[in-house]
Structure formats: C-alpha cells, structure tokens
Amino acid sequence: MKSRLKLAQGVALIGVIIVVGTLLLEPGASALAQKPTPQPTGSIQEITASTPNLTLTVGDTVVLSINVIGRQDIEDQRLADDIKFDWSVSGGQLSDGADGTSVSYTAPADPGIYSVTVSPRSGCVGTGLACTATFRLTVRRPGEATGPDAPPRNPEGEIPAILTASGGGQYEVFTPEEGGTFTSENFSVSAGNGIVPNDEIIGVRMAEDGSASNAGMSHHRYTLSGNQYRVSVIDAERAPILSYNLNGTVAVCIPVPGELRTNISSLEMVTKNSNGTLTVMSSSVRISPSLIICGNTSTLPATIAVGIRGTPPPLLEPDPEPTEMLPATGGATPSSASALVWAFLLGIALISIGTLCLRILDRDEFNRA
C-alpha cells in the first residue's frame, strides 16, 4: 500500500516539475501562443523632391511638389490620395492649408539659402530619410548675375575654414572665389574658383565607404574592385545637402586597386547612383606619387569607384542550410514552441493521474477501516 502511495505522489510531483519548467523557460510569455510583432502599414516607400535645388529672386513664388514612390520603387502619385502631409520652411512663406503633395512657396525679402521639408503623417513604410523630402532654395537679390559666366563672388561676412557637422565630421569649406580642396593620404577632391555658385559656401568631405564590389549586378557593364569613396556635402548651416549642382566640375582622385594595376589602359572611374546604376566619368590615371585615377563630376554628393569593362561575376552560392533532422517515425521535428506546449500538457496529465491515484488509494484505505 505504501509503495503505491509513493508511486502516485511521484507521478504527481514529476507533473508539477514539468509544468513549472515549461513556464520558466520563457518568463512573461504564454506557453501556448506568442503575439506577432506589429508591422508598419502603408503603401508609400519613399518621397522625393521633384526639384530639390532651386534659385529664386526675393519675392518670387513657385510651386513645390513631391514624387511619391511605392513599394516596388514605382512612382505613383495616387498612393497619396488619402494622405495628409506636413510642410515646414526655414524662411519664406507657404500657402495656407498646405497638406497635399504640392504647395505654393514665396521667397523671403532677404537673400540667403533656405529649406522646405515635407513628410507624410501616415502611410509611409520607408526607413531613415526615405519618408522626408527636402527642397534647397537659394534666394538672390534682383539683377544679380548668376551662372558660370558671372564673376566669382563670395557671400558677405566672415567665412570659416572648416565646418563641423553635428556628427563631429569636419568639412573643408569651398567658396566661389577660392574653390577648395579636401585631401587625405591617398584620395582627394578639389575645385577651382567659380565652381561653387556665387554667394554660397559649402563644406566638402571625402572618406572610404566600404567595398566597391558589384558582384551579382548582371545589368552593370563594368566590374568594380577595391574600395568605394563617398564625397559628402553640407551647407553653411551644417545641414546635409542631398543634391548640389556646381557651375563646373570638381576633380576627384582615388587609388587604383592592386588587382587592377595590370589593366591600367582599361580602367574606368564611375559614380554609383542611388537607383543602382553606374555613370562613367571622364578620367585619367596618374602617378602622384602612387598610382591614382582622377575623374570629374559636376554634382555632389557622389559615391566613386573604379572598374573595368565587363559584366560583374555572379554572387557566390551561400552555404546550404542544415537539413532538418526527422525523428524515427518519419514526422517533422516539432518546433521549440510546440515542444513546450506538449511538455506542458504532459505535466498536467501526470499531475491529474497522480492525484486520481491518491484519491483511489485514500478511498480503499477508508473502506478497509
């Protein structure tokens, strides 16, 4: 009788241990189900300024509009039909009730560089700056000569030699009258006078930006090697400039990758565009004192790399994922969540069996008494 009692107690105890163990494996979570992580909703992947850089005269009025891009990187203005947008301006005036994809902007009475930003209140699933569009507006006095034929003229006031961005990076100042140069150990970017538009200054910085490899990009006509280099630009207010058109070209020089030194006559310098395409630059190879290649571009910022003509190689096949181990029955191995559920149910069953046995033994003991 005592052995049966101990057996029933042992069964119940094992059930308790299993139940408690399954609950402690994932504290604060249900053993039966887990709520899925909520995903952002909306159909807009990105918005961009239709004319990101504009030059106006004081008091001018223009219409600013944005491009709406969907999840498949296809422009579709209809995606914004039911969306409200927030517009803000650093100087000048926006039309009343501006909450759509376009707005009327009136330049202020004071010359300078101003910005207008816009972002949707909802419906955008893009990350980072994809859900914000920025317009850069240069406002000039009436009658000022503009363009590459105007004599270079610096803005009024003191001009710093260095601009430090909010992230701590230092940018060399480029001006209309002096141009500018940013030089590192083996790469550089430089501009002559008259390249920066009149009455403006910009900060320019250049840095390595990871591998230039375009393996797997079968639509490219050039195979890239070595590192790529990023030329970044900020304005006088230390704000990043997403697109800046110069009056002429700046010279950008980067080292020739070691693996391409036997193909010097076939080297091409390219800019890597945000849409995944490549643009070939006018370039030449120099020895100064190491082997470098220099090219020209009239638009900043830019990502620069070197390659040779030919389709890039395919991507290497990834290692195969480990094969799922099947139990002897031939069925699929249960997931960890399923295993926890079955363990929990087994524990409950053992507790029930042990409790039932104890009650039967107690009843038999009572009848004998």
Domain pair 43-144 / 155-314, same fold: no
Question: Which positions ≥6 away from 206 have C-beta within 8 Å?
Answer: 182, 184, 187, 188, 189, 229, 230, 231, 232, 252
| Top-confidence residue, 96 or 342 | 96
Which of the residue ranges 2-11, 61-70, 131-140, 220-229 would you say has the lowest mean pLDDT?
Answer: 2-11
Angle of helix 2-25 relative to helix 336-368, nearest 10 degrees, comes to 150
The helix (H) or strand (E) run that includes residue 95 is none
Q: Determine contact, residues 295/269, Cβ cutoff 8 Å.
A: yes
C-alpha–C-alpha distance, residues 134 and 52, integer Å: 7
Can you give the residue ranges of every domain in the chain? 2-30+335-368, 43-144, 155-314
Cis peptide bond upstream of 52, omega within 30: no
What proportion of the chain, given as a percentage, has pLDDT over 70? 72
Confidence class for position 29, pLDDT limits 50, 70, 90: very low
How does pLDDT run across 61-71, given as a tens digit for each residue? Answer: 998 999 898 87
pTM of the model: 0.56
Q: What pLDDT was estimated at residue 70?
A: 86
Q: Which residue has the tokens 């004998």?
A: 368
Q: Is 319 helix (H, G, I), strand (E, B) or coil?
A: coil
pLDDT at 1 over 50: yes
d(CA 125, CA 117): 18
Q: Please write the tens of the pLDDT for every residue from 291-320.
A: 999 999 988 999 999 999 888 888 766 666
- φ and ψ of 246, to 5 deg: -90, 165
Q: Does residue 8 register a pLDDT over 60?
A: no
Mean of the per-residue pLDDT values of the chain: 81
Q: Which residue has the higher pLDDT, 362 or 12?
A: 362
Select the more confidently predicted residue: 311 or 259.
259
* pLDDT of 15 over the 80 cut: no
Per-residue pLDDT at 289: 76
**pLDDT at residue 313 in the model:** 84
Rounded CA-CA distance 261/266 in Å is: 10
Q: Are strands 188-191 and 180-183 parallel, antiparallel or unpaired?
A: antiparallel
Instruction: Find out whether the peptide bond into 36 is cis, omega within 30 degrees of 0.
Output: no
Tokens of 113: 């560089």
- Contacts of 12-17 with CB under 8 Å at 24 or more apart are 12/350, 12/351, 12/353, 12/354, 12/355, 12/358, 13/354, 14/347, 14/350, 14/354, 15/346, 15/347, 15/348, 15/349, 15/350, 15/351, 15/352, 15/353, 15/354, 16/347, 16/351, 17/347
Average pLDDT for 46-61: 86
What string of DSSP letters covers 212-244? Answer: ---TT-TT-SEEEEEEEEEEEEE-TTSPBPS-E
Question: Does the pLDDT value for residue 2 go beyond 50?
Answer: yes
Buried b / exposed e over 14-23, threshold 16 CB at 10 Å, is: bbeebbeebe
pLDDT score at 143: 62
Segment 74-89 mean pLDDT: 90
How crowded is the C-beta side of 184, counted as CA atoms within 13 Å? 19
- Three-state DSSP state, 369: coil
Task: Indicate if the pLDDT at residue 165 is higher than 70.
Answer: yes
SS3 308: strand
198-239 pLDDT, tens digit each: 889 999 999 999 999 988 887 788 899 999 999 999 999 899
180-198 pLDDT tens trace:
999 998 899 999 999 998 8
Q: Is the pLDDT of residue 247 over 70?
A: yes
Provide the CATH topology of domain 155-314: Chondroitinase Ac; Chain A, domain 3 (2.60.220)
Write down the architecture of domain 43-144 according to CATH: Sandwich (2.60)
Q: What band does 9 get if pLDDT is binned at 50, 70 and 90?
A: low
